[in-house]
Amino acid sequence: MRRGITLLSAGLLAGSLLVPTASAAPRCGPDVRVPGAVHQESACLADLTTTGTLASGHTVQADWAGLTASDLPAPAAVPGRQIDGYFPDTSTTNANHGWNHDAQFVLRLPARWNGGLVVTGSPGNRRQYANDRAIADHVLAAGYAFAATDKGNTGAEFFTDGDRPGDAVAEWNHRVTELTTAAKVAAWRHYGRPVSRTIAAGMSNGGYLVRWQLENRPWLYDGGVDWEGTLWTQRDNLLTFLPTALRAHPAGDERAVLAAGFAPGSQFLWDYHHRVYWDLTQRIYREEFDPGFDGDRQAGIPFCRSGTPDCDADYDYASRPAEVHRAVERIALTGRIGKPLITLHGTLDSLLPISRSSDVYAGMVAAAGRGGLHRYHRIEAGNHTDGLVDEFPGLRPLAPHFRDAFDEMHAWLRG
C-alpha cells in the first residue's frame, strides 16, 4: 500500500488483456457483481481450466510457470463464468491486464456446481493466476467454484507495500479474508443458493495463508489443504535457517547446512536453491521484517560472502531488536486451528526444509490440543516446487498428492 514498485523478470511481468472467446459456453448463469470490487470484467467461457483459459486469454501462464511438472494430467473442459477484477488498493505491483493495480482477483463459477468454494492466495510473490494449473484445474473439475487473490502485493519488491515492517504480509491475510467473504456472496447471487462448504487451499506462502485463516477466521471455512505452508514463529522461520545455508554452502560446510535443518539426501538440490531461492528469499523477507539491518539499502547485497558488512549471510534473527520480533509476531502462527486441516510436505524440500516447517507446525497443532483436526502427509522425495521434477528425475511431484489430499478433505467434510 506504500511506495508501490514493480521489479520482476520480464517473464513474471508479462500480463495479458482479457480476450473474448470465440464461442461462449452454453450454460454460464447470470453475471453478478463481486461485493467490494471497484472494477470487474466477466466472461462466459467454454472451458475454465488452463487448457481453455490459455487459448482464450483468461489466465497468465507466467504466473504459474515452474510450479508443476510437465506431465501433470489436465482435466476435461469445465464451462462456466469467469470474473476478473480488483478491490480498492493503493499499490501497483501487479501489471496483469495492464491494470497496474494490486488486490486483483479471479473468480470462476462452473456451470455444473457441487455447492462448494475453494479460496486461494498465491504462492511466493506471484499473482492471482499462480494456482491455476496446480489447484484450480482439479477443483473446478470436481465441481467447486474457485477464487484466487494476488494477496495485495506482488514481486521481488513486495516489501515496499505498507507503512511499517510486516505490513505487506499482514495484508496477505486480509486479502484472503476479503476475497472469501466476497466470493461467497457472489456465488450465492450467481447460483441462487448459498455455498455449502468452503475450503481454503494453497502452497508455500499460500499454505501459510490457509493455516492463518483456519487459526484466525475459522468461521469462514469448513476446512483447508495446506501444501508445504511457510512457517512463521519466533523460533522457526526462514530467517533462522537460510543465513546458515548462505554461509555454509559456499564454504563447503555440508554439516552446517544439515544442522540448519536441510534433509540428508537433498544435497543434489542445494546448488540450484542457492542460486535461485536462498539468497533472494532471505534478503526480501528480511527487508520486510527488519529493514534497518542493512541501513538505507533495499534488500541487502546479493550473494555477499560472510564477513561483508551488512551481509544477510551473517544475519542473526535471535539477536535483532524487539521491534523486529514484534513485526514477525503480528503474522505468526500458533497451531490453534479451528477447522479440519490437511498438510502435505515433501521430505526433500530445500527451500522450507520439512524439519523446520511442517514437522514443527504439526507439533504446534498437537500441543494446542487440535490434533484431531489435523492430518499430516510427509511425501517422500518431494521438493518445494514440482517444476524441478523435470530437471531432477529422482524427485516425486507433490501435485498428485495435493489432489488426493483435496479429495480426502472433500470426503472428510462429507463425513
pLDDT of residue 15: 36
pLDDT interval class at 393 (50, 70, 90): confident
Cα torsion through 122, 127, 133, 139, rounded to 10:
50
Q: What is the mean pLDDT of residues 273-298?
A: 97
CB 182 within 8 A of CB 158: no
Would you say residue 150 has pLDDT above 60?
yes
The cell for 311 is: 551481509
pLDDT greater than 90 at residue 182: yes
CA 37, CA 85: separation in Å to the nearest integer? 7
Question: For the chain, first and last CA: distance in Å?
Answer: 42
| Rounded Cα–Cα distance for residues 415 and 411 (Å) | 6
Q: Three cell numbers at 231?
A: 512457517
As given in the structure block, the three cell numbers for residue 44 are 462466459
By DSSP bridging, strand 80-86 and strand 39-45 are: antiparallel
Amino acid 360: pLDDT = 98
Give the per-residue pLDDT at 415.
86
* Listed residue (405, 402, 404) closest to 340, CA to CA: 405
What is the Cα–Cα distance from 299 to 130, expressed in whole angstroms? 24
Q: Please say if the pLDDT value at position 357 is more than 80.
A: yes
What would the pLDDT profile of 31-88 be if each residue is shown by its tens digit?
999 999 999 999 999 999 999 999 999 999 999 999 999 999 999 999 999 999 999 9
The grid coordinates of residue 308 equal 561483508
3-state SS track over 27-75: CCCCCCCCCCCCEEEEEEECCCCHHHHHHHCCCCHHHHCCCCCCCCCCC
Residue 230 grid coordinates:
511457510
The grid coordinates of residue 215 equal 487459526
pTM confidence score: 0.93
Nine-digit cell string for 404: 488426493
pLDDT band at residue 355, thresholds of 50, 70 and 90? very high
Ordered domains of the chain (ranges, CATH): 39-232+333-413 (3.40.50.1820), 238-329 (no CATH)
By the 8 A CB rule, do 204 and 126 touch? no
CA distance linking residue 391 with residue 191, whole number of Å: 44
The mean pLDDT value of the chain amounts to 94
% of the chain residues with pLDDT over 70: 94
**Nearest residue to 263 via CA among 180, 359, 375:** 359
The C-alpha atoms of residue 234 and residue 10 are separated, in whole angstroms, by 35
Q: Of 282, 278, 284, give the one whose Cα is nearest residue 297.
A: 284
Give the three-state DSSP class for 283: helix
Measured distance CA(28)–CA(79) in Å, rounded: 7
